[in-house]
Amino acid sequence: MEHSKLVKLEGKVALYTLSEDKTEAEVVDALQMQDDDAEANTVKGRSGLVLTEAPYTLGSKIRYGVDGNTITASNMRVLSFAPLANKTYAFVYTKTASTTTTNKYQAVTKPLTDDHGTTEVVENSVNGLYRYKLVEATANEDAKKGVTYFENSNASANAITAFLGQNVDNLFTRTGGSGTDADPYTYAPAKGYAQTGTTYYYTLDGQTYTEAYSVPYAAFGSTTLYKDNAGSTTKTETTPADGQAYYYNDGGTYKYCVIYPQRTSWDESGNTKHLYVFNGTDTTVDANFVACGTTDVAVKGMTYFDKYTKNNGVYYVKVIKVE
């Protein structure tokens, strides 16, 4: 190239050392998709490649020409540096500066506990990562299948297994009629899980139907119930056991109970409590994420993300490996 066509480098060029040997394309990827937790004076790419700023000088002298003489070019068009042995450098020229940036979130896997084994230490710290933002679930609804719930919005809160209601395949619902011989009720088999607001019935002989005793989930722990219809075994658990039938002593008659689903909001000692859910899971929406704290660790049911800033800059790169 003719010396007169050398471009001015000031404000357009950078020199980096690479944390590992990479190609020009991989360096460009790191420049265009930068991890937001990079340390000062570095660029960290999504592959883990770290570019660390290296010293250089801009001037007008090309130290050695083919004939051994110094070549002079226009000022600020020559970069020189003192290379260190066994280092890989990347010369970066910004052809077009970035005009737009977009945040990207990439899920990462974190263990729930520290594993301090003899061969490897696996840390469960999520410092430097992001997690889904938690907000109050819509109030006064039954917990729904397929939704991840938390008891509070703290970073230390594990996801819970929400109680979706007792299976009512052995119960019945009632419609129509007035209950007289001339206008009897109609009973139909119930299906799935109990739903708040629905009354259920059971029958022992297929002819007489008795209203099941209703137990809201929030009242289960404080309600005296029995595990048999003779009242010989009192429940001690505070949450419903899977597959366990419960009975309530209603004046000497042990009525079969129906346990209703956990609610998204409930009263507790005069205070309204809520379950919490993800604000959203769209990874293109910044409002769906919050930064993890320095002491936060991975919890059950939460997904963690590395945050990257994608830019539309155009970069020319030359990788230089020094032996």
Residue 105 in this model has a pLDDT that exceeds 60: yes
Domain chopping of the chain, boundaries: 3-102+308-322, 172-261
Rounded to whole angstroms, how far apart are CA atoms 255 and 226? Answer: 10
- Mean of per-residue pLDDT scores for the chain: 90
Residue 27 to residue 102: CA distance in whole angstroms: 19
Q: How far is CA 13 from CA 6, 46, 55, 128, in A?
A: 13, 22, 12, 29
- Residue 160: pLDDT band (50, 70, 90) is very high
Dist. CA 131–CA 110, nearest whole Å: 12
Does 5 score more than 70 pLDDT?
no
pLDDT at 7 over 80: no
| Position 118 pLDDT exceeds 70 | no
Reported confidence tier of residue 177, pLDDT bands at 50, 70, 90: confident
Mean pLDDT of 278-289: 95
pLDDT score at 116: 54
Percentage of the chain lying above the pLDDT 70 cut = 90
Percent of the residues in the chain that have a pLDDT greater than 90, as a whole number: 74
Q: What is the pLDDT of residue 283?
A: 93
Q: Angle at the Cα of 180 (from 177 to 182), degrees rounded to 5?
A: 85
Residues 6+ apart with CB under 8 A from 51: 16, 17, 18, 19, 27, 30, 31, 42, 43, 44, 45, 90
pLDDT of 290 strictly over 60: yes
* Lowest mean pLDDT across 75-84, 203-212, 299-308: 75-84
Q: Give yes or no for a contact between 263 and 216, defined as CB atoms under 8 angstroms apart.
A: yes
The pLDDT value recorded for residue 10 is 81
Task: Identify the weakest region by mean pLDDT among 2-11, 157-166, 279-288.
Answer: 2-11
Residue 311 structure tokens: 């830019």
21 alpha carbon, distance to own chain's centre: 32
